Amino acid sequence: MKMMACGFGHAWEEILRFAQNDPERGRQGQQGLKGPRGQAKTTLGAVAGRLPVLAIFLIVHGALAEAPVGALSVSGHSSLQAAIDANPGKVLYVPAGDYILEAPVRISSDQGGLWGPGRLIQSKPDQNIVEIANARGVRIHDLTLMRAEGSQDSTAHALYATQCRDLEVAGLQVIDNRSQAGTIYLDHCRESVVRDCLVRNYQRVGVDDRTSSPLYGYAFRVIDGTGIQVTFSSGIQILDNRVIEDNLYPDEATKTKYELGKLTEGKQPRTKGTIGQPGGDYVNNWHQGSAITVSSPEDTNHVAIVGNYIENAAQGIDMHTDNSICSRNVIHYAFVGLKCMHGAKNVIISDNIVTHNDLWGLVMLPGVLSHPTEAASEGKEAHTANFTRGNIIANNIFSDYGLGHESYNWAAQRAGVISLESGQLPENPIMTDVIIEGNIVYDTAREQILEEGMPKDVPPRYDWAVYITPDLRPQGLIFRDNIFHPGTEGVSNIALEGEE
């Protein structure tokens, strides 16, 4: 692990003046590390050739990096990991500068952590940037996590936390961790929070290999990646984050360039799966992953997903969780805005804004992992019922439907902006007892759209505002006080209970 830290104040300015006195140095100083307050840019290598040995030592070892009064700093150690190991249970300040990593920074002591303006840059695409394991009360604040040029397409996480409690991840900027693995990933954690973070550019082109799944049995080329992921966890808050993808757009040019949706070889031979079997050598669900995913049904519960901004996602927010709330989020461009399935129960989805989605604004259904109460048998433990029920969908606004980046891909499969469906397998229990109130499905097309700068009349881009599966129909659905603009086929395919 290589560690470079650039200090603050007058000492930094003296070093810059020393280097800039050399005309040759002046021509080299346009790339590299930023000085404090952005006065100038300089590279460590360019400065090193013209500085006294003591000045070079001070820069490399961080002696010029001034920590806030009372804060412990990583300065003076050979690496970030050395600083952490020398100060177990301490939250260390990381001064401004680039810290080049070849292995993850690992924290495993209670009450430890890192904070500050430093940039942690992972040079190895198969290595996580930060790992936190088996620790309580760890805090990671205000850092920038990123990958070196040429290593942005990754197979690893930016931050991975497992078996943690009271973890606080706040104010991070996570840039260009383009991975099919979750960029910020909490696994088996309790009473923890991810807040005020920016995750930018988290998706990549890859292969979704489902050849080992009896449900599918094939592999295909995809855009994939998840910004914030939570599994096997409880008491989690995901608050006021921004999850934005502006490197890969799922337009027709990108689809063609990367042959997205094309079936390819996987780890196992291709077989005929129970569901989702393609008719030829192509599937159109090639945009995978989510901006935010909370999953592991029956294990993940009591989660709050509140106040997040999401732009250009496959699925905006994907929930497989119980006793949870999803509220005040803004989802701008995603082919699925909100998804709630696999036995999610006692979930409130309220006060969200969803714009420019192309398949579902919101979809709720039991999913393949739902099941009735099961007795113990053949070595299997008994299980209580897991099915989607007792949920509230309230005060959400869906607009600009069918005007997203993937309109061309889903035009033939659109049904309802809000879709309430039966299970994916015959044995999945029927969804029950859902209140749908105070929502708006707004047909933006009624106001005309612009094509080549000219207003044009177009029909709605959806069949129904609400679609309900007629076979194995969900029961106990109560609708009230909604505004549903009709689609090409009407407001709903089935009369809505409680609506006039």
Q: What is the pLDDT along the chain (500 residues), one digit of tens a residue?
A: 445 443 333 333 433 333 334 433 333 333 333 333 333 333 434 433 444 433 333 344 443 456 788 789 999 999 999 999 999 999 999 999 999 999 999 999 999 999 999 999 999 999 999 999 999 999 999 999 999 999 999 999 999 999 999 999 999 999 999 999 999 999 999 999 999 999 999 999 999 999 998 888 999 999 999 999 999 999 999 999 999 999 999 999 999 999 999 999 999 988 888 876 677 899 999 999 999 999 998 899 999 999 999 999 999 999 999 999 999 999 999 999 999 998 899 999 999 999 999 999 999 998 888 888 888 887 778 878 888 999 999 999 999 999 999 999 998 887 899 999 988 888 888 999 999 999 999 999 888 888 888 998 889 999 999 999 998 899 999 999 999 999 999 999 999 976 65
230 has which bridge partners? Answer: 186, 294
| Residue pLDDT, tens place only, 267-302 | 998 888 887 667 789 999 999 999 999 999 889 999
Residue 354 located in a structural domain: yes
Counted domains in the chain = 2
pLDDT at 19: 36
Residue 88 located in a structural domain: no
Rounded to whole angstroms, how far apart are CA atoms 490 and 464?
A: 5
| Residue pLDDT, tens place only, 152-181 | 999 999 999 999 999 999 999 999 999 999
- Interacting residues of 324 by C-beta distance below 8 A, sequence separation 6+: 294, 301, 302, 303, 304, 305, 344, 346, 347, 348
Residue 152 located in a structural domain: no
Residue 230 located in a structural domain: yes
Cα 459 to its chain centre, rounded Å, is 33
| Range(s) of the domain holding residue 54 | 9-61
Residue 90 located in a structural domain: no
Residue 153 located in a structural domain: no
Rounded to whole angstroms, how far apart are CA atoms 283 and 278?
A: 6
Q: Amino acid identity, residue 260? A: L
Q: Amino acid identity, residue 339? A: K
Residue 381 located in a structural domain: yes
pLDDT at 225: 97
pLDDT at 414: 79
Tell which of 41, 61, 81 closes a domain.
61
Residue 262 located in a structural domain: yes
pLDDT at 66: 65
Tell which of 20, 37, 61 closes a domain.
61
